[in-house]
Amino acid sequence: MKVLVTGGAGFLGKRLTTRLLARPDIDEIVLLDMAPAKGLSDPRLRIVAGDIADPALMGRLIDGKTAGVFHLAAVLSGQSESDFDLGMRINVDASRLLLETCRKRGNRPRVVFTSSVAVYGGDLPDVVTDDLALRPASSYGTEKAIAELLLSDYSRRGFVDGRVMRLPTVSVRPGLPNSAASSFASGIIREPLNGVDAVCPVAPETRLWLLSPRRAAECLAHGFDLDADALGGQRAVNLPGITVTAGEMVEALRRVAGEETASRVRWERDPAIERIVGTWPGAWDTTRAEALGFKGDANFEQVVRAYMEDDLRR
């Protein structure tokens, strides 16, 4: 089986790829990103740098042997808000190009598409259920909701066999801060553990809905393996997260790594970030995801420890 992973140089793309390489049924993985993916090496890997919105490139990367696509590439929430055209170009147009390329090839690959808490907005209940209307309050959320609709209709028509994995905010991400409005949700743990000061731009009582990178990669692979019938015509799945406030995150850090580490977090509210993050749900109902076999984290302390085991270099 040949698989394409877009956004393959990101932390989630690489973690997913490592999982996929452990499978005997995969012959080739094409990793596409703006810059070549680093730190991965395997004879079955083909690492490509290029623009996902380029039709010629997509036409070369998706061929008659492509049986699976993990579409992770995206312009993140902060940048989608500050550069509307770029967000539309990558999050909407490139997603549509990918689906169109699959349609033209005609072999109906499985397409796993990552979406986000940001598709929800407006007046939200404490716990979001599967039937709640999407009212995104950011361009990023709007673009993800549009791509979800496209994937569903392309699946209904039999052009692809798509699955939308709506991710909670992924924390603790390794690496550097990024342009997501939620970047702090990793930074306030990662930076202190690396001896660096961090700013938390939201109030301590702000609720976040979190999933660890380890579990996120597992969920994407599980979503790929699911039989389409199990989804019952509803292609989007709200993946299981845990509800944690920003204050509780730092408390968990204190318990795991001590007072000196936790004291590296400074509280300094940023209205632009609060405005975006405040429109996201603090929890959603995970009944369906769990019935479909998806697994989230047990608690945030475990998430901090998983980051230390998987990613922390001292």
Residue 128 DSSP one-character state:
B
CA dist list (Å): 90 to 6, 34, 73, 93: 11, 12, 8, 6
How far apart are CB 104 and a copy of itself at their closest, in Å? Answer: 11
- Establish if 237 lies at the interface with a copy of itself (CB under 8 A): no
**Number of residues binding to a copy of itself, judged by CB under 8 A:** 22
Which one of the spans 27-35, 68-76, 144-152, 220-228 is the region binding a copy of itself (CB under 8 A)? 144-152
Q: Which is nearer to a copy of itself, 52 or 92 (CB)?
A: 92
- Establish if 216 lies at the interface with a copy of itself (CB under 8 A): no
- Establish if 229 lies at the interface with a copy of itself (CB under 8 A): no
Amino acid at 302: Q
Q: Which of residues 84-103 bind a copy of itself (CB under 8 A)?
A: 84
At 202, list the tokens: 């939201």
Establish whether 307 is a catalytic residue: no
Question: How big is the CA angle at 87 (ends 84 and 93), to the nearest 5 degrees?
Answer: 120
Q: Angle formed by the axes of helices 11-21 and 213-225, to 10°?
A: 50
Which one of the spans 44-52, 143-151, 199-207, 295-303 is the region binding a copy of itself (CB under 8 A)? 143-151
8 Å CB contact between 203 and 275: no
CA distance 280 to 1: 37
- Establish if 82 lies at the interface with a copy of itself (CB under 8 A): no
| b/e map 112-145, b = 16+ CB within 10 Å | bbbbbbbbbbeebeeebeeebebebbbbbbbbbb
Which one of the spans 23-31, 34-42, 130-138, 256-264 is the region binding a copy of itself (CB under 8 A)? 130-138
- Establish if 51 lies at the interface with a copy of itself (CB under 8 A): no
- Establish if 139 lies at the interface with a copy of itself (CB under 8 A): yes
> Which residues of the shown chain bind a copy of itself in the complex (CB under 8 A)?
84, 122, 130-137, 139, 142, 145-146, 149-150, 152-153, 156-157, 233-234
| Catalytic (active-site) positions | 140
